[in-house]
């Protein structure tokens, strides 16, 4: 043995740190798994995953995977430390470039989904095809991977938070409709409508009907043979909105975004022909719910009262469309606009118009003089962000106005605004209260909503010797109606949770059955039948019975997302989505008893 080998053994070459392929695959799978868990939780009706956790995992799963791989690369990756840092910095700059180049509506999603997926796809392609590991090819692969996030815009989301997209160089259907009617934001009739005044019969006074219960009076569907309705007229397009209708005499009223105006529009009920339009300047649009008004006008005494998504309350003459007064809630009450726009539909109580400013900086409720718009009262307590509307109720023979918001359920004196009772139920802003309180004849009130897992509660309100008391009678997390209002038939409650129709016992909240998928739709109760508008624009008829789920028929009415409440008046069903309005006649309807 030589001296050199005996006393100076050869150095062992340290193993190369070359695990980036495995690390990339591992962290990519981690991000996909976290995101997939969130998607599962969003569709799970058990409420086992808190809503906040569900939203965070859906949004941040891919980001978690990207950040994990970036940290591994900087600390344990191949090459010199400064090479790794420079490479990470270069990729970071490219990621920021992708976000900035995306359409403004796509940027939030490009940040949390597009960038991580682009990096993962690029890295995985390079990992399985090492021969192309050079910068020009890597850049080309990244550009192809990022192209969907660069080429698309977000028009909104579904009730299950699935993205609705279109090419960025094309206007969305809603935006196109709004601009198409921009020059018709204000249209006056040649003369005042003679047959529309104080004595005109009111068939559907406003949001969800006279009592805001979504229950159709028998006169409006008398004689209907139960078969599918037939189309009478169709207006396509109309200005975008999530508003419903009010029906007075031979006229139907709704709200639309027309250019930069949130207009109230009057149509002939028998033909769909426009009569007039008018309203307040303003425009609200957000990346999830889109553009246009959210509320429904209310009719009383020959006038219409409407709230805009941008934060104003207006009074208009029903026979001309002329504005009588307008109140800006931000200027008068320092109300900040909710994320998805002001959605409160005005409640007319005698000579008062009561609205929910839906802002922590403003009163919980305010009452305006119906004749002048002057402030008659405002609650001392402040409100919260939310999307529910004031609800008239008579409990223990006392008239009240209820409001359901992120702090709970409250009963107020409609004449003074003073608080009579309260039921505390604090929810977070990302779990918004949207559903209308359902008042039962025995003094119970059912409320619920927000995201999956928030649930539904029944509150019993009593007048006792020392004042009012509101106590929880039952609660369930098996039913969360989100923003889909409920209806009552006898001792049972019907509503949509996570797109599935459910029947519950009003005595204890137990789920009797759940079946049928309608997305984030809305319901009407017409006798022993439920009329269900699906989120996809279908109209279904379901037997309103606790024994079993029975869908009697279903028809396609209008393509496109439908979140609007339908209306049934004088044997005619009024149906609309963001940009299409349809009237359908019920076979057999008669106005004779």
Q: What secondary structure, in 3-state letters, does 427-465 show?
A: CCCCCCCCCCCEECCCCEEEEECCCCCCCEEEEEEEEEC
Structural domain total, the chain: 3
pLDDT of residue 26: 79
- Looking at the structure, tell me whether residues 156 and 235 fall in a common domain: no
pLDDT of residue 460: 98
The last residue of one of the domains, among 112, 140, 167, is 167
pTM over 0.85: yes
Residue 355: inside a domain: yes
- Looking at the structure, tell me whether residues 254 and 233 fall in a common domain: no
The last residue of one of the domains, among 167, 187, 206, is 167
- Looking at the structure, tell me whether residues 37 and 132 fall in a common domain: yes
- Looking at the structure, tell me whether residues 144 and 221 fall in a common domain: no
H or E stretch including 148? helix 135-151
Find how far residue 237's CA is from the centre of its chain. 21
Residue 421: inside a domain: no
Greatest mean pLDDT among 71-85, 185-199, 264-278? 264-278
Residue range 16-54, pLDDT digits in tens: 445 777 777 777 777 778 777 776 776 665 556 666 676
- Looking at the structure, tell me whether residues 26 and 163 fall in a common domain: yes
Reduced to 3 states, what is the DSSP secondary structure of residue 48?
coil
Range of the domain at 505: 214-241+484-562+564-593
Strand ranges, E, within 101-150: none
pLDDT of residue 14: 45
Residue range 558-585, pLDDT digits in tens: 999 999 999 999 999 999 999 999 999 9
Phi, psi of 166 (to 5 degrees): -150, 170
- Looking at the structure, tell me whether residues 236 and 260 fall in a common domain: no
- Looking at the structure, tell me whether residues 304 and 327 fall in a common domain: yes
pLDDT of residue 15: 45
Reduced to 3 states, what is the DSSP secondary structure of residue 117?
helix
- Looking at the structure, tell me whether residues 237 and 261 fall in a common domain: no
Percent pLDDT > 70 in the chain is 90
User: What's the CATH code of the domain at 525?
Assistant: 2.130.10.10
- Looking at the structure, tell me whether residues 327 and 353 fall in a common domain: yes
Residue range 99-111, pLDDT digits in tens: 888 888 888 887 7
Phi, psi of 348 (to 5 degrees): -90, 120
User: What's the CATH code of the domain at 278?
Assistant: 2.40.128.630
Residue 460: inside a domain: no
**Residues 237-246, mean pLDDT to the nearest whole number:** 97
pLDDT of residue 49: 64
The last residue of one of the domains, among 152, 167, 182, is 167
- Looking at the structure, tell me whether residues 103 and 142 fall in a common domain: yes
- Looking at the structure, tell me whether residues 259 and 218 fall in a common domain: no
Residue 479: inside a domain: no
Residue 99: inside a domain: yes
Residue range 350-377, pLDDT digits in tens: 999 999 999 999 999 999 999 999 999 9
> Mean of the per-residue pLDDT values for the chain?
88
Residue 319: inside a domain: yes
- Looking at the structure, tell me whether residues 231 and 296 fall in a common domain: no
Residue range 308-358, pLDDT digits in tens: 999 999 999 999 999 999 999 999 999 999 999 999 999 999 999 999 999
Reduced to 3 states, what is the DSSP secondary structure of residue 263?
strand
Q: How far is CA 135 from CA 25, 123, 126, 138, 140, in A?
A: 20, 12, 11, 5, 9
């Amino acid at each position: 043995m030589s001296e050199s080998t005996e006393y100076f053994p050869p150095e062992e070459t340290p193993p190369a740190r070359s695990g980036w392929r495995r690390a990339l695959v591992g962290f990519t799978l981690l991000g996909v798994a976290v995101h997939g868990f969130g998607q599962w939780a969003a569709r799970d009706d058990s409420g086992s995953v808190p809503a906040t956790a569900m939203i965070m995992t859906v949004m941040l799963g891919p980001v978690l995977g990207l950040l994990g791989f970036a940290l591994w690369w900087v600390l344990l990756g191949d090459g010199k430390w400064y090479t790794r840092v420079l490479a990470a910095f270069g990729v970071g700059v490219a990621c920021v470039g992708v976000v900035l180049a995306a359409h403004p509506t796509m940027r939030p999603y490009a940040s949390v989904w597009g960038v991580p997926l682009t990096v993962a796809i690029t890295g995985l392609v390079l990992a399985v095809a090492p021969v192309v590991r050079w910068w020009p090819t890597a850049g080309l692969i990244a550009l192809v991977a990022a192209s969907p996030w660069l080429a698309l815009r977000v028009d909104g989301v579904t009730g299950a938070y699935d993205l609705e997209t279109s090419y960025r160089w094309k206007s969305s259907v809603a935006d196109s409709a709004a601009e198409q009617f921009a020059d018709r934001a204000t249209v006056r009739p040649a003369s005042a409508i003679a047959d529309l005044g104080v004595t005109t019969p009111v068939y559907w006074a406003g949001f969800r009907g006279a009592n805001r219960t979504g229950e159709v009076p028998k006169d409006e569907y008398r004689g209907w043979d139960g078969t599918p309705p037939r189309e009478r007229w169709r207006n396509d397009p109309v200005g975008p909105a999530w508003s419903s209708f009010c029906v007075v005499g031979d006229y139907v009223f709704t709200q639309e975004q027309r250019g930069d105006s949130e207009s109230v529009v009057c149509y002939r009920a028998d033909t769909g022909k426009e009569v007039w339009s008018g309203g307040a300047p303003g425009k609200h649009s957000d990346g999830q719910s889109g553009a246009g008004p959210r509320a429904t006008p209310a009719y009383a005494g020959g006038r219409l009262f409407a709230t805009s998504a941008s934060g104003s309350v207006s009074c208009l003459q029903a026979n001309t469309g002329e504005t009588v007064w307008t109140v800006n809630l931000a200027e008068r009450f320092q109300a900040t606009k909710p994320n998805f726009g002001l959605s409160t539909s005005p409640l007319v109580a005698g000579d008062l118009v009561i609205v929910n400013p839906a802002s922590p900086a403003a009163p919980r409720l305010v009452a305006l003089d119906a004749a002048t718009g002057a402030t008659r009262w405002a609650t001392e307590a402040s409100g919260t962000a939310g999307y529910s509307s004031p609800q008239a109720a008579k409990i223990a023979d006392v008239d009240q106005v209820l409001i359901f918001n992120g702090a709970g359920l409250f009963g107020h004196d409609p004449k003074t605004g003073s608080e009579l009772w309260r039921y505390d139920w604090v929810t977070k802003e990302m779990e918004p209260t949207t559903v209308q309180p359902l008042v039962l004849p025995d003094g119970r009130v059912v409320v619920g909503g927000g995201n999956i897992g928030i649930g539904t509660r029944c509150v019993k309100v009593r007048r006792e010797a020392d004042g009012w008391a509101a106590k929880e009678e039952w609660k369930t997390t098996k039913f969360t109606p989100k923003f889909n209002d409920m209806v009552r038939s006898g001792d049972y409650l019907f509503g949509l949770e996570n797109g599935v129709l459910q029947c519950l016992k009003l005595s204890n909240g137990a789920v009797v059955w759940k079946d049928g998928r309608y997305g984030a739709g809305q319901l009407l109760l017409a006798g022993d039948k439920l009329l269900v508008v699906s989120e996809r624009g279908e109209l279904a008829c379901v037997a309103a019975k606790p024994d079993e789920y029975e869908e009697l028929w279903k028809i396609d009415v209008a393509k496109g997302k439908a979140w609007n409440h339908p209306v049934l008046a004088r044997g005619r069903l009024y149906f609309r989505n963001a940009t299409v309005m349809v009237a359908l006649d019920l076979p057999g309807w008669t106005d004779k008893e």
